[in-house]
């Protein structure tokens, strides 16, 4: 029951016992009853509106005043304390800024607010070295602890392995071991299991050249065999994308691996690839089908740089000595990148049989079709080396 006093407070109606008797009095009492009914309706509508607004606030997280009822900063919590609880997996994309990382962590429930993380990120001098990848973190961590966790390799759900172009199998093995979970025995076993890693028969059981240069995210549960298999698969994918016949896979890899090691600049890959084709076809000419490539000789000697001695050049016991043995070497000498593969698949037209890098500093390389032209180009290299002896400790040319 709503009292007369309540109506008076709401709409200003007078209260007290109404006078009796006159028609005027009766009309006054009727008017007051109508006003009370109107006031009651207004009160009901007002209460219903408040209920609706409160319900909207519960659904959206906003109270009628516009405050976020469930956000930490609205409840006085701008940052959690401690190392958190439970676990959650988050992925930090390549190139993410501190602000973007903050938003990812707030949405995942790792930190209370993005602002707290942004401040902790700015306060940590090492924060800029946080790497892209997948991390296992805790829920409800302090922002400072979240930054520290992202800097801790133990928080990573995977490790990143980069295989540079021109890497040999031994160099890839070193990188696999350096990841921290694979032993040398694990890697050797993976290399030897051709079926498990998907190595095609044309490879002859040898992984050299088949370990595709790229950056790999290695999941925690991955084995050495899994990782090597992904490298072989990527090589197959690249060869197929270039339209290479499966029967020619190995030859293309051998040629591309040589191309990549013979010149400094990829701008010359195509011409070197053409020199290889011309020399292989020149079985009755000046080269007698011999590639005469320094890079292959060094590979057979177990070296990746320098210049072979005269005795090493004449050593017929080295199966990779293309000065003495005609044709291609037995296997690739490293894992070639996509540019070298493409150059071998589609080399430019030309009659070149020789080339020499005349400026090791810039990589400038000259090509020739005759021994005389090659001699002239070589003299340019000799002049350069007289002036820059330190830069000529290694050489490239054929």
pLDDT in tens, 97-152: 999 999 999 999 999 999 999 999 999 999 999 988 888 899 999 999 999 999 99
pLDDT, one tens digit per residue, over 148-165 is: 999 998 888 777 889 999
Q: How far is it, in rounded angstroms, from Cα 354 to Cα 350?
A: 11
Greater confidence (57 vs 359) lies with 359
Residue pair 263/243 in contact (Cβ under 8 Å)? The answer is no
- The residues near 315 (Cβ < 8 Å, ≥ 6 apart) are 321, 324
Give 20 or 176, the one with higher predicted confidence: 176
pLDDT above 90 coverage of the chain, percent = 66
**Where exactly does CATH 3.30.1490.480 map onto the chain?**
78-155
- Give CA–CA dist 229/210, Å, rounded: 10
CA angle centred on 286, ends 283 and 287, rounded to 5°: 60
pLDDT confidence bin for 380, thresholds 50/70/90: very high
Q: Is residue 65 pLDDT above 50, yes or no? A: no
Contacts of 344 (CB under 8 A, 6+ apart): 252, 255, 256, 259, 273, 276
Q: What tokens were used for 78? A: 């701008």
How confident is the model at residue 352, as a pLDDT?
98
Residue-level pLDDT at 251: 98
Query: How much is the pTM?
Result: 0.65
Give me the residues paired with residue 366 across strands: 356
Angle (deg, nearest 10), helices 269-281 and 249-262:
120
- Angle formed by the axes of helices 224-241 and 184-192, nearest 10°: 40
- pLDDT number for residue 391: 78
For the segment 360-370, what is each residue's pLDDT rounded down to a tens digit?
889 999 999 99
Q: Which CATH class is domain 78-155?
A: alpha beta
Lowest-confidence region among 189-193, 198-202, 231-235, 360-364: 360-364
């Amino acid at each position: 029951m709503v009292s007369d006093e309540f109506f008076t407070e709401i709409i200003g109606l007078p209260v007290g016992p109404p006078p009796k008797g006159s028609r005027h009095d009766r009309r006054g009492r009727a008017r007051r009853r109508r006003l009370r009914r109107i006031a009651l309706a207004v009160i009901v509508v007002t209460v219903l509106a408040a209920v609706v607004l409160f319900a909207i606030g519960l659904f959206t997280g906003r109270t009628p005043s516009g405050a976020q009822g469930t956000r930490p900063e609205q409840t006085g919590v701008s940052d959690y304390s401690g190392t958190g609880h439970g676990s959650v997996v988050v992925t930090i994309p390549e190139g993410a800024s501190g602000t973007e990382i903050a938003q990812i962590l707030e949405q995942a429930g790792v930190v209370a607010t993005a602002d707290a993380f942004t401040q902790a990120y700015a306060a940590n001098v090492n924060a800029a070295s946080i790497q892209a990848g997948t991390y296992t973190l805790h829920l409800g961590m302090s922002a400072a602890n979240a930054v520290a966790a992202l800097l801790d390799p133990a928080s990573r759900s995977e490790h990143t392995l980069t295989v540079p172009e021109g890497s040999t199998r031994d160099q890839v093995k070193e990188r696999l071991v350096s990841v921290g979970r694979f032993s040398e025995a694990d890697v050797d076993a993976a290399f030897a299991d051709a079926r498990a890693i998907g190595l095609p028969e044309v490879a002859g059981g040898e992984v050299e050249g088949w370990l595709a240069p790229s950056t790999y995210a290695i999941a925690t549960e991955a084995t050495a065999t899994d990782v090597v298999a992904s490298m072989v698969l990527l090589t197959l994918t690249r060869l197929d994308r270039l339209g290479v016949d499966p029967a020619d896979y190995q030859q293309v890899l051998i040629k591309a691996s040589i191309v990549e090691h013979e010149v400094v600049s990829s701008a010359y890959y195509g011409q070197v690839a053409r020199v290889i084709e011309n020399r292989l076809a020149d079985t009755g000419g000046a080269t007698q089908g011999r590639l005469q490539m320094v890079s292959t000789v060094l590979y057979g000697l177990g070296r990746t740089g320098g210049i072979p001695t005269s005795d090493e050049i004449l050593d017929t016991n080295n199966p990779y000595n293309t000065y003495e043995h005609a044709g291609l070497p037995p296997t690739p000498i490293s894992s070639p990148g996509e540019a070298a593969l493409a150059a071998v698949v589609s080399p430019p037209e030309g009659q070149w049989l020789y080339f020499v890098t005349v400026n090791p500093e810039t990589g400038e390389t000259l090509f020739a079709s005759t021994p005389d032209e090659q001699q002239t180009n070589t003299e340019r290299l000799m002049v350069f080396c007289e002036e820059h002896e330190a830069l000529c400790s290694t050489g490239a040319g054929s």
